[in-house]
Amino acid sequence: MNRIARLNASLRRGDFHIIELLGWTMQHRMITVVMALTMLMVSASGCIGLLQGREYMEHLRGDVAQSTSIETTVVEHAFTNAEINIEWNEKFTVDTEVTKIGVYFKTEMAGEIIREIFPDFFDLREVKVEIKDPNGNLKYNATHDTTKTAPYVLIEPEFDGEFVSGEWNINIIGTGGGVLSEKDNFLLSVDVTRTCTIYPQDEVCVVD
């Protein structure tokens, strides 16, 4: 009987140790899960905090802005008496910021008073305009021999969408006459438009 009692006591102690071991294992697993969840929450909170901080900094920096400027070259002349093959040469500069080049050209020819005073000269009157890029390629040309306003013309860029950089040349040859307030005249206007992007906290224009 004593042997049986000792055996039962030993079994009870073994059961207790098993239960104690199981309890410790479950507790350890719970601690691991809690630590993992805590790390995940901290990580997520950090990411959200960084995202919010970045959005706030972007808000402080301001918006991206487009800057556009137009530089205009104007050539105009009113003829006096009889002027034959008078020539004008002007230049304008083109760089990588140029996004558009526009040309406006008009002429006004005086009436019968020129025919009466300069009969042999009357039919010779005309104004011819040529615009060439730095490579000598003709980009615009027009000839007016009457009162006329040409449509506003945009010069086509190269295949890559840009204009040739450098000094562009305007050449004008005109024949006209004038008496008192009756004068042949012309006006040529070349608009060079530059566009660039100004990024926040940066005063330098960047060509996209």
Is 206 among the domain residues? no
Q: Based on the domain organization, do 125 and 109 belong to the same domain?
A: yes
* DSSP characters over 34-68: HHHHHHHHHHHHHHHHHHHHHHHHHHHH---EEEE
Query: Are residues 141 and 160 both part of a single domain?
Result: yes
Q: For residue range 30-45, what is the model confidence (pLDDT) as tens digits?
A: 556 456 555 555 554 5
What is the per-residue pLDDT for 143? Answer: 97
Q: What is the pLDDT of residue 121?
A: 83
Which two structure tokens, joined as six digits, stand for 9? 């006591």
CA 172/CA 75 separation, integer angstroms: 9
pLDDT at 21 > cutoff 90: no
Tell me: pLDDT of 208 over 50.
yes
State which residues form the domain around 7. Answer: 1-61
pLDDT of residue 118: 82
- Of 122 and 90, more confident: 90
Mean per-residue pLDDT, 181-201: 88
pLDDT tens-digit series, residues 136-181: 999 999 999 999 999 999 999 999 999 999 999 999 999 999 988 8
Count of domains observed in the chain: 2
Same domain, 52 and 117: no
pTM value is 0.66
Q: Are residues 43 and 134 in the same domain?
A: no
Res 15: pLDDT: 47
Q: Is the pLDDT of residue 46 over 60?
A: no
CATH code of 88's domain: 2.60.120.380
* Percent of the chain residues topping a pLDDT of 90: 50
The full length of the chain comes to 208
Lowest mean pLDDT among 10-24, 84-98, 145-159, 180-194: 10-24
Q: What is the mean pLDDT of residues 47-62?
A: 54
**For residues 91 and 60, which has the higher predicted lDDT (pLDDT)?**
91
| Two structure tokens written together for 1 | 């009987």
Task: Name the burial class of residue 131, with classes exposed (0-12), middle (13-18) and buried (19+) by CB atoms within 10 angstroms of its CB.
Answer: buried
